[in-house]
Amino acid sequence: MPIKRLQISGVRNLQPLSLTPALGVNFIYGENGSGKSSLLEALYILATGKSFRHHLLKPVIQHDMDECVLFSEIDDNRLGNGRLGVRRSRSGDKAIRLNGEALHSQAEASSWLPVQIIEPNTFKLLSGSPQERRQFIDWGVFHVEHSFLDQWREFKKLLQQRNAVLKKQQPDWLDVWDKGFVKAANAVNESRKAYIERLLPVFQHTLSRLDANLDVELSFYPGWERTSNLIDILHKQRERDLQIGHTQSGPQRAELRIKVDKMNAADILSRGQQKAVVAALKLSQGVLFQQETERSTIYLVDDLASELDEKHRFALCQLLEDLKCQVFITSIEHNSISDHWKPKGCKMFHVEQGHVSDKTPLV
């Protein structure tokens, strides 16, 4: 699924650029503040419509520019060749085009560029809110189950309608909405549950390669007590739901529970161990995605040297190489990784004051 060509303009301190990345590993090095992370951020926005560094896109646009423009040429072994472009303006306007045709949702663009990010905030996957872990699950389900997006949209619509009834204190309408709500909730739940069941053995194998001393258990909580039917729970919680004005149980409360010795992993693992677990989770999704779709994930790894110790760092690099996927890795010094890891056909890019130059040694 490699990006064959990338063009960026109007993003933070990056000067307008056009580069041809390696189909495999791309090392991006430069001083702090040079623009390394901004290059990965641009790729992430192209793939997801969001920044991994800020909850708003406005700060991403260069201060003296009205918009940023991102463009890529993609060669996907299943979908074919694609030209994906994104334009985001300071006013909030946006446009997404694929092969010259306007796309009406970010999901269509994301399906062309399945991107995983590993960077400092990624490690909130263990210590952050349940929403972080729901998003992790849904990334995987979305990219392997074509029906999931429609399932999720239907559930979200019914959840909003049920919550509106609760806020208006109209209990007589709840029996009408609950039947459809439960049906949509069960569809979302089954897709998530089946995905986690398939991910579990992949995760255990991947984690053993990153750190054989870690024994981590994953379990899926659907958002309500597993031994009870959701319709029964809604009936029992109806009075409380009416009091607080929203639905307490359902897929909107789902959770991936990550434990060691029956305790939350975030509470007992060292920071280094937590990073290894999160890296294993991210890599496992790429492995499963490749197994089930015959396509590859693109990995963006920001400042790898500061996030993992040497042992875990090179175990991660070997796993990435085994995936035979496209990777973009940033570091301050060009030799912090590449002196020890030189995958075939890799490229090296230097970033200085927003200028990106190809420093791949000539063979």
| Rounded CA separation 177/175 (Å) | 6
Does residue 39 sit within a domain?
yes
8-state DSSP, 251: G
329 contacts 301 by C-beta, under 8 angstroms: yes
**Residue 29: C-alpha distances to residues 3, 241, 352 (Å):** 19, 52, 9
Of 294, 327, 344, which residue is a domain's last?
A: 294
Check residue 22 and give its pLDDT: 95
53 contacts 41 by C-beta, under 8 angstroms: yes
Half-sphere exposure of 15 (CA within 13 A, CB side): 10
Neighbouring-strand partners of residue 170: none
Does residue 100 sit within a domain?
yes
| Rounded CA separation 184/188 (Å) | 6
Indicate if 305 and 285 belong to the same structural domain: no
How many beta carbons lie within 10 A of that of residue 269, not counting itself? Answer: 20
Of 294, 324, 341, which residue is a domain's last?
A: 294
Check residue 123 and give its pLDDT: 81
Q: What is the CATH number of the domain that holds 30?
A: 3.40.50.300
Check residue 101 and give its pLDDT: 94
Mean pLDDT by 10 residues, the chain (363 residues): 92 95 94 94 95 89 94 92 95 93 92 92 89 96 94 97 94 90 97 98 96 94 94 96 96 97 93 91 96 95 77 88 93 71 88 93 69
Of 294, 309, 335, which residue is a domain's last?
A: 294
Indicate if 196 and 282 belong to the same structural domain: yes
User: How many structural domains are present in the chain?
Assistant: 2
Q: What is the CATH number of the domain that holds 194?
A: 1.20.1050.90
Annotated binding residues, as ranges? Answer: 30-37
Indicate if 81 and 189 belong to the same structural domain: no
Nearest alpha carbon to residue 123 among 228, 227, 317, 272: 272
Indicate if 275 and 301 belong to the same structural domain: no
Indicate if 160 and 289 belong to the same structural domain: yes
Annotated binding residues for ATP, as ranges? Answer: 30-37
Indicate if 275 and 312 belong to the same structural domain: no
Check residue 30 and give its pLDDT: 92
Check residue 304 and give its pLDDT: 72
Indicate if 230 and 208 belong to the same structural domain: yes
Q: Name the pTM for this structure.
A: 0.93
Indicate if 107 and 181 belong to the same structural domain: no
H helix runs in 12-96, sequence order = 36-48
Indicate if 48 and 174 belong to the same structural domain: no
Indicate if 149 and 219 belong to the same structural domain: yes
The set of residues, in sequence order, having a beta carbon less than 8 Å from that of 360 and lying 6+ positions away, is 22, 346, 347, 348, 349
Indicate if 225 and 331 belong to the same structural domain: no
Indicate if 140 and 279 belong to the same structural domain: yes
Domain span holding position 94 = 1-114+297-363
Check residue 331 and give its pLDDT: 87
Does residue 120 sit within a domain?
no
